[in-house]
Structure 1
Amino acid sequence: MMGSSSTPASDEILVAGGGIGGIATALALGRAGRAVRVLERAAELGEIGYGLQLGPNAYRILVELGIADKLKEVAFYPNNLVMIDAIDGKELTRIELGDAFQERYGYPYSVIHRSDLHQMLLDAARALPGVSIETSRGVASFTQDATGVDVVCEDGSQYRGAALIGADGLKSRVRASILNDGAPRVAGQVAYRGVVPIEEIEDATHADDVVMWVGPDLHLVQYRLRGGKVMNNVAVVENEAMRTGRAETIGPEEMEAIFSHCIPSVQKMLGFVRKDRHWVLQDRDPTPGWSLGRATLLGDAAHPTLQYLAQGACMAMEDAVVLARKVTTTPDVDAALVAYENERYLRTGRIQLSSRFFCGFCHAGGGARDVRNSIVTKRPKGSTFEIDWVYRGIDL
């Protein structure tokens, strides 16, 4: 939203949101010598959720941000990505993540707890003299003029800066002011998650892998976290009622009914997910125009995606590095933000659409399941052709 102000603009860049994307942005800009102020709505900083997969493209970004060495202390490095049919228990395909994979992409594949990654980014950002991080400062509105942006927070506090970066998530208020395009799309799926000690996993066949069991309207993912000490479990289900707009979510009993056709070992794994909390999955269509004058969007505020390529947080961190580079190499702020969007729009849009495709691919039933299984079992050994473009990352 445009406006006017007689107050001289600060050179400080304001970031709405203190999640992974917002803190990565502060870190990237701070390392480039820019003053940054993060305005976070919550009273305390932290990440809600469980595990994250970090492809080599994301590992490369963490190298760029100077914190990859810290990753080794808390991450787990799986041996393979494995897909198994949850109905008959047959392995369909795998991608080996060993030496050949790392030689191809230059960096490893790792998995990490969301809160551990967030804390790594936060510690590094706080160590920079130009970075300020404030809590209980949810951005409510903003106006801008030719020289800066004026932000009003929910508690009435006001800030003026050179630019505003909306990293305030799926239901971004900054997005509502820039695009005003309504609520995110409900994907018709619900996720249940849980973390248990590794000792509770009786079948250790895939304990060192990222494994996905796929079936009609369902999938279940497992991988180890925190140096291998715990197992992350994610069960996702969908049904026709959810896809057509049913307001209520799929409850635990309905989740178990959808999984009832799976082999017993997969059904037993539902005991590893919490039943008292769920996530309704949402995304958006690729949409241009996230930059307006001195304001722009980043991460889920710009391009929320389903989790089927495991790239949501990865894209937010890529955004942060590209944004920092544009802002520090292009003197005109408006032009820098447009250049940032132009560089990110098609890549992130492809992630959004590809994730939707892989959702249908993983959740296939009936004849579509037969076709899916035939395709993936014939994949060339060691091939990564479907996701090569993702893992090769961006130009730095």
Structure 2
Amino acid sequence: MNQQVIVAGGGIGGLACALALARAGVRSVVLEQAEAFGEVGAGLQLGPNAVRVLAEWGLMDALQSCAAFPEALRVRDAHRANQLGHLRLGALALARHGQHYATLHRADLHGLLLSAVQRRPEVQLRLGARLASWTEDGEGVQVALEDGETLSGEALIGCDGLWSRVRAGLLGGPPVRATGHLAYRGMVRSVDLPTPLRANLVTAWLAPRLHVVHYPVKQGDWFNLVAVVQGQLPPGDDPQGWTHEAHASDLRRALGPACGELMAMVAAVPDWTLWPLNDRPALRGPHEQARGRVALLGDAAHPMRPYFAQGAAMAIEDAWTLGRLVQDREAGIDWALRLSCYARTRWQRNARVQKLSQRNGVVFHAQGMLRWARDSAMSMLGERLLDNTWLYDGPPEPMR
């Protein structure tokens, strides 16, 4: 049976897309290249803008069963340990923005979306189905899989991540670019931390050429840590082939004269993984998010550096917008028109977050006068500098 929409990719963005379409009564088939659904990585943060969408989708109970809801964001100097900035979250985020600020494991967010999608008869899930190529004509989109099977649909949504094959067919280059940053990621049980380190906070430690962020996940039973340092992998090296001791030793060396509290947090992590960070330039116009009957969503459209904590949120917002635009189906769906509206609604907001994410990487790792100016601004402006009402009060209503 031909499906109305083909969704390439079964990660957070792809499942959110399928769920949003299903809630609008639109059938889809989700093509996941892996043999089992899963999510690679560790923790993530969801601002009120993304939590608002999950609540609208009826997923708050599921979110509360696996997430933590930090009371504040605290920014500290990694060497001197003094506080640089503070943003109240918890009840104040709810009062200011109408929704919670949540932190959770990527696999838990993926799992709650997967459970929601599996309850929708409008969605067909296909495992071991990797897109090889696609073509579009006036009647629809044809997708060829690597095993030779061909599928037809009325539209194609590329949710296949940074290395998206849908994007390659739609836009071609430029290639993915290396950021020059390496991310060490780890998890630690709360009971294995000294009591003072178990506070229900998002803590960001800043130092020249590096920063570390940690926060609770899994209802506070675990903490997620990510340390980002500037540097490149040696050519040909596979970071996943290295040992934990090698990762830990390299990270300790990169941290240098870090304060005792931060070093205790880092030392408690039983295993580190290392990931080179890559991205693409910010979107330059709606033509880079949709053309004709083909659109890009999440990292396939706008991969982001993780310094604004909005990568997953922007994918969820993309999906919500697309779902809103196809709700009115009485006269059928003009997919080229609806996807054009989707791209015009989303591209500037996504590009703004991409640029701010890149800028934050510079600010977090600042040295010299820029570091002094950053610290002074946080001291004088306080929460006004750290809160982002324009972002957290979203997502914006779609253009039509």
TM-score (norm 2): 0.91
Higher alpha-carbon deviation: 318-327 or 48-57: 318-327
Contact 1:234–1:273 (CA<8 Å) still a contact in 2? no
Structure 2 gap segments, 5+ residues each: 240-245
1:280-332 deviation line (CA, Å, top 9, x unaligned): 11121123323121111000000000111100000000000111222334731
1:319 matched residue in structure 2 = 318
Q: 1:378, CA displacement in angstroms? A: 1.2
Cα distance in structure 1, aligned partners of 2:386 and 2:199: 25
Task: Give the corresponding residue for 1:268.
Answer: 264
Structure 1: 5+ residue stretches without partners: 1-8
Alpha-carbon offset, residue 209 of structure 1: 0.3
Alignment map for 1:1-396 (pairs within 5 Å) = 10=2, 12-205=4-197, 207-239=199-231, 252=247, 253-273=249-269, 277-287=273-283, 288=285, 289=287, 290-329=289-328, 331-380=333-382, 382-383=383-384, 387-396=388-397
In structure 2, relative to structure 1, the CA distance for the partners of 1:247 and 1:339 (3 Å cut) is farther
Normalising to structure 1: TM-score of the pair? 0.92
TM-aligned CA deviation for residue 100 of structure 1? 3.0
In 1, distance between residues paired with 2:189 and 2:22? 37
For residues 203 and 237 of structure 1, the distance between their equivalents in structure 2, rounded to whole angstroms, comes to 27
**Worse-superposed segment, 384-393 or 11-20:** 384-393
Tell me, in whole angstroms, the C-alpha distance in 1 between the residues paired with 2:272 and 2:220.
Answer: 25
Change (3 A) 1:264 1:247: farther
After superposition, the C-alpha distances for 1:348-392 in whole angstroms (9 at most, x for unaligned) are 000000011111111112332222111111124x43665221111
Query: 2: CA distance between counterparts of 1:102 and 1:340?
Result: 28
Q: Percent identity?
A: 39
Q: Distance in 2 between matches of 1:375 and 1:215?
A: 16
Residue type of the partner of 1:177?
G
Does the C-alpha gap of structure 1 residues 14 and 65 become closer, same or farther in structure 2, counting only changes over 3 Å? same
CA distance in structure 2 between the aligned counterparts of 1:186 and 1:47, rounded to whole angstroms: 22
Aligned to 1:6: none
Structure 1 segments (4+ residues) deviating >6 Å: none
**Contact 1:166/1:298, CA 8 A, preserved across alignment:** yes
Deviation at 1:69, TM superposition (A): 2.0
Distance 1:11 1:44 in 2: 21
State the number of aligned residues.
384
2-structure distance, mates of 1:203, 1:373: 28
1:260 Cα deviation (Å)? 1.1
Instruction: Mark the CA change 1:73 to 1:306 in structure 2 (over 3 Å): closer, same or farther.
Output: same
SS of the equivalent of 1:383 reads helix
Q: Is the 8 A contact 2:13 2:315 kept in 1?
A: yes
